[in-house]
């Protein structure tokens, strides 16, 4: 089992300069603690995402770490110009010595799309066309494309990715069909749904991988995401999680409340206890957390545990204590599972 971090970079109420400094301190801690990768979301004009320019924030991550892998989960691809994005990916992969991992999606929020003047109804075909452009550009060193949404006439990039043919790919899955599609692309996957649903995705993913790449090709990582808070006791951890989670949940729903629209497609329950009751969150002592994660990962048939360990108004000291308890006690207990 390997371990990673997923981070919305949601607002804590701190001044932004202190917020970024604290987050970078925690990212250096993730590296020292032995996490494989750090994944960030992309959101705009919402307290759910205080890193609206993922590559700008990740360039700081690249400069302040040495071994930690990192990347977007995911780039909201229709919001980008493909030429600029492919060049920034190349730069960031080179500056990090080949530690970048890239995920692409169509973007989950119609409101955020509208802020950019985009029609969210076209997000899926735009995403598919832009994905082809970006991946071909990374592989060939040029953009040459004729399509419905973009045209490029043999534009040389002059920058190239450090990793060939491109950095490893990631996809956030909510269905067996998307998991199978990711497998055929050679992409790793992460699910933020229940372990039971993720187990279905995992089986479809591995079957499609074998069909596409052959039985001798090892499938990519299958990740299961969950909220995690570790304390010296169950009570300590639950107190922190129950306080912090509603702050995150308010940010998660901020734009939908502001615009008085339908709630987000993948809505989360309003309390930490309800989230935990769905098997998608855990707060407790190291023993409690290790037992829960081990059982959930087995049900999910996953081999990559992705913790959302900094959320809401969890402070630097609280988060540091939780992360170190996780690294010192939970990770060793789960390494052999």
- The C-alpha atoms of residue 333 and residue 231 are separated, in whole angstroms, by 16
Residues 75-105 pLDDT 10s: 999 999 999 999 999 999 999 999 999 999 9
| DSSP sequence for 169-200 | EEEEESSHHHHHHHHHHT-EEEE-S-HHHHHH
Helix, strand or coil for residue 207? Answer: helix
Look at the alpha carbons of 210, 216, 220, 223 in this order and tell me if their dihedral is positive or negative.
Answer: positive
pLDDT digits (tens, 9 = 90+) for 48-77: 999 999 999 999 999 999 999 999 999 999
Q: Choose among 124, 101, 266, 105: nearest CA to 188.
A: 101
293-336: per-residue pLDDT in tens?
Answer: 999 999 999 999 999 999 999 999 999 999 999 999 999 999 87
CA nearest to 85, candidates 36, 143, 140: 143
Q: What gap in Å lies between CA 74 and CA 62, rounded to an integer?
A: 17
Q: Distance between CA 112 and CA 255 in Å, rounded?
A: 8
Mean pLDDT throughout 117-134? Answer: 96
In the chain, the percentage of residues whose pLDDT exceeds 70 is 100
C-alpha R_g of the chain: 19
Stated pTM of the model:
0.96
Who wins on pLDDT, 337 or 128? 128
Tell me what the mean pLDDT of segment 234-251 comes to: 98
């Amino acid at each position: 089992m390997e371990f990673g971090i997923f981070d919305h970079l949601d607002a804590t109420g701190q001044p932004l300069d202190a917020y970024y400094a604290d987050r970078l301190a925690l990212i250096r801690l993730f590296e020292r603690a032995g996490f494989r990768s750090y994944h960030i979301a992309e959101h705009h004009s919402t307290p759910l995402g205080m890193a609206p320019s993922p590559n700008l924030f990740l360039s700081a991550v690249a400069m302040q770490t040495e071994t930690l892998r990192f990347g977007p989960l995911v780039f909201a691809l229709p919001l980008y110009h493909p030429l600029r994005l492919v060049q920034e990916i190349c730069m960031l992969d080179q500056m990090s010595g080949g530690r970048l991992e890239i995920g692409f999606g169509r973007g989950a929020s119609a409101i955020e799309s509208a802020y950019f003047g985009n029609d969210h109804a076209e997000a899926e075909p735009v995403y598919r066309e832009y994905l082809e452009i970006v991946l071909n550009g990374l592989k060939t060193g040029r953009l040459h494309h004729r399509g419905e949404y973009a045209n490029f006439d043999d534009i040389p990039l002059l920058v190239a990715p450090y990793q060939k043919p491109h950095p490893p790919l990631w996809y956030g899955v909510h269905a067996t069909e998307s998991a199978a599609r990711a497998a055929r692309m050679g992409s790793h996957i992460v699910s933020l749904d229940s372990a039971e649903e993720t187990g279905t995705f995992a089986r479809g993913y591995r079957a499609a991988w074998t069909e596409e790449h052959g039985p001798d090709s090892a499938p990519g990582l299958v990740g299961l995401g969950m909220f995690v808070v570790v304390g010296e006791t169950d009570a300590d951890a639950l107190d922190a999680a129950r306080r912090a989670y509603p702050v995150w949940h308010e940010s998660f729903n901020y734009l939908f409340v502001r615009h008085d629209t339908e709630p987000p497609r993948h809505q989360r329950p309003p309390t930490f206890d309800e989230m935990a009751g769905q098997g998608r969150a855990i707060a407790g002592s190291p023993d409690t957390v290790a037992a829960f994660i081990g059982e959930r990962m087995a049900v999910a048939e996953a081999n990559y545990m992705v913790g959302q360990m900094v959320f809401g108004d969890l402070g630097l000291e609280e988060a540091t204590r939780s992360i170190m308890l996780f690294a010192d006690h939970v990770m060793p207990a789960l390494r052999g599972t």
